[in-house]
Structure 1
């Protein structure tokens, strides 16, 4: 099959433990590139939080913040932006002010959070250990008041991220945020909420990028595992969901591959492109 562009989610799809690229996945991505496919990571992460094991690959473009911003890696400049307008961000924050939850704003490829939040992530906010790297590995800018920051700066964020929400409030917050026009709510794991502009989603960003590159969607392969990947899996001519992914992701994909921690990405790429990789190494 003539695949000219390969779009792949990171966490729960390509990476292990949110930071490690298994050797089989790396070899499969490199071989796909050698066969002419443009490599496009597509992630909910902001640009400054893409691990080196991904950026050292021959990546052509990166879809970040769930389609909030797309970068051309040749010059590291953004070529597509779908931002939350300032007034809408203020409306979102007015709701979030009612809850004592961990909040991040993504802008300019970096993250802003409230002073003191990272130090209280494990204790006060109760983040499970699997989430710690998403706090410890970020270089934050801090504010003392999200609402005042939005008013004073006119910030139009790429994404507003709620990385961990207790069950007792997640459903209520989702319901209240759903009343705001101009935003899209998604989740990359069951206990978070990711807030983007209504125009921002991985599938839409992928379609726009492919129009710019004159690549038909029939010649695109996408790989993902969760709710924020569904639009991308639906948009691509060929798509694969990880066996351990969400039910909506698996329903949206044209095939279901092995689990992400069993090199499901490599298995799917090899099947579609028609080659094999020899490595069986799984890094710790």
Structure 2
């Protein structure tokens, strides 16, 4: 008989969160009940600390998270970093150059802040991330010169998001960065490119959590919906696609459940735990 899974790794946007960027009451109750049974539920998200702040109260029962696509592994209860991986300075400059060439919106994630160029939040719909505007306005730090900030805080940057006007722009940035860097690049949203240091992904974040919590990764279940989840879905013992997942994610998974607006996470818990 196959051992029961001991860890549930949840992506947030399009997975734990519905299309309104909320956790439904039914999903919240099921996740809370699961942790009460001794199963570890960990966030496995591209969001950083500033970007999960809106959920800190309702998800206060969670203890661990892989944030910034594995760039920051975090103890939520103790409010401390367990591990962080900074982007090398020269590769950070390459990200800034690629974004500038496309007129893109760049987001820098540090261990505590989400930083953007002043004035771009009000234009975020142009970069296909308008659904996040209210969150950006509440939780992001705006600076007058993002390049100067990045160079002054280069050792603190664990992830760069480049939000493009379209997917074609993202493809050009990807090619430019693949030629100049060894960064891990993952597509997200309509035209966003997530950039993390070499060897760092949601998969490496899950691996660190499993080692920390003494859980074999074969007993971890990962759930996601987009290309930036592919690495962790391949790494986990069981991979689950949300009903709203793209075809690449569906093809990589063992199971497909209901979409994020119809409590797919509840189905995961009922079927696997």
Tell me the TM-score normalised to structure 1 length. Answer: 0.87
Deviation of residue 71 (structure 1)? 0.6
Distance in 2 (CA, whole Å) between partners of 1:258 and 1:54 is 25
Out of 49, 52, 64, which is 1:50 matched to? 52
Deviation of residue 136 (structure 1)? 2.7
Judge conservation of contact 1:83–1:200 (CA < 8 Å) in 2.
no
Judge conservation of contact 2:162–2:193 (CA < 8 Å) in 1.
yes
Judge conservation of contact 2:66–2:205 (CA < 8 Å) in 1.
yes
**Secondary structure of 1:98's aligned partner:** helix
Deviations 1:172-205 (A, max 9, x none): 1222122132201112323211111122111111
**Secondary structure of 2:101's aligned partner:** coil
Distance in 2 (CA, whole Å) between partners of 1:145 and 1:74 is 31
**Secondary structure of 2:188's aligned partner:** coil
Deviation of residue 2 (structure 1)? 2.1
Q: How does 1:205-220 map to 2 (within 5 A)?
A: 205-220=205-220
**Secondary structure of 2:180's aligned partner:** coil
Deviation of residue 128 (structure 1)? 6.1
Corresponding residue for residue 133 of structure 1: 134
Deviation of residue 37 (structure 1)? 0.6
Higher helix share: 2
Deviations 1:19-39 (A, max 9, x none): 311122112211211221111
- Confirm or deny that 1:72 pairs with 2:75: yes
Out of 13, 16, 21, which is 1:14 matched to? 16
Corresponding residue for residue 94 of structure 1: 97
Rate the CA distance shift 1:145–1:56 in 2: closer, same or farther, 3 A. Answer: closer
Deviation of residue 134 (structure 1)? 4.6
Q: How does 1:116-195 map to 2 (within 5 A)?
A: 116-122=119-125, 125=126, 127=128, 129-146=130-147, 148-195=148-195
**Structure 1 unaligned blocks of 5 or more:** 274-284
**Secondary structure of 2:179's aligned partner:** coil
Count of aligned pairs between the two proteins: 270
Tell me the TM-score normalised to structure 2 length. Answer: 0.90
Judge conservation of contact 1:61–1:71 (CA < 8 Å) in 2.
yes
- Confirm or deny that 1:114 pairs with 2:117: yes
Judge conservation of contact 2:128–2:190 (CA < 8 Å) in 1.
no
**Secondary structure of 1:104's aligned partner:** strand
Judge conservation of contact 2:11–2:224 (CA < 8 Å) in 1.
yes
Which is further off, 125-134 or 36-45?
A: 125-134
Rate the CA distance shift 1:212–1:167 in 2: closer, same or farther, 3 A. Answer: closer
Corresponding residue for residue 81 of structure 1: 84
**Structure 2 unaligned blocks of 5 or more:** none
Q: CA RMSD in A?
A: 2.0
**Secondary structure of 2:29's aligned partner:** helix
- Confirm or deny that 1:27 pairs with 2:7: no
Deviation of residue 260 (structure 1)? 1.4
Judge conservation of contact 1:112–1:143 (CA < 8 Å) in 2.
no
